[in-house]
Amino acid sequence: MVRKREPSIRLSKNNGVNATIPLCPFCGKPKNMIAMLGAAGDKLAKELGRPDGDLPMYTKIPGDDEPCEECLKNNIHFVVVDRLPAPKGPRPKRVGSFLLPRAVAPDFLNPDVVDKVMERGGAIIDEKGAENLTRAFNKAVENARKEHISDSTKDE
């Protein structure tokens, strides 16, 4: 029998569940959730200059790269892994994540792919793929700027 592991935390001696509202790492606004960090929260609070170990109401949690709901509505969330998942290969390791504005994505990605990825709430990409995507994005921004410049010279 496989026992399902329940998510659990070690409680803080003085601050119990030590709850806080995490700030979105992308827009900095409070997320629509509560994080209970327990004893780990005491350590973080002390690093943030709170000697009593009690977390403030809002905290930017180090290593948190999950966007808030609002960011997910307007952006495509790409989770970057060290290698793409393969049927019998080792488990990919998450190395970070980034957002791509939904509005500009169809400029350099197949719009059908964009829709599918948005439906699924994001995509997994390896570091090489992330590099290529960043390059394509920068090029699209550059082209848009050039077009804008030539448009404004036309008007004059």
Of 71 and 104, which CB lies nearer to Zn ion in the complex structure? 71
Candidates 23, 39, 71, 109; binder of Zn ion (CB under 5 A) is 71
* Contact indicator for 39, 9 with CB cutoff of 8 Å: yes
Nearest of 101, 107, 22 to residue 65 by alpha carbon? 22
* Binding segment toward Zn ion, per CB under 5 A, in 66-74, 89-97, 100-108, 115-123: 66-74
Return d(Cα 105, Cα 61) in angstroms, integer. 28
In the shown chain, the binding pattern of residues 73 to 112 toward Zn ion, with x for contact by CB under 5 A and - for none, equals ----------------------------------------
Using CB under 5 A as the binding rule, whether residue 23 contacts Zn ion is answered as no
Using CB under 5 A as the binding rule, whether residue 26 contacts Zn ion is answered as yes
Cα distances from 94 to residues 46, 83, 84, in angstroms, run 27, 9, 10
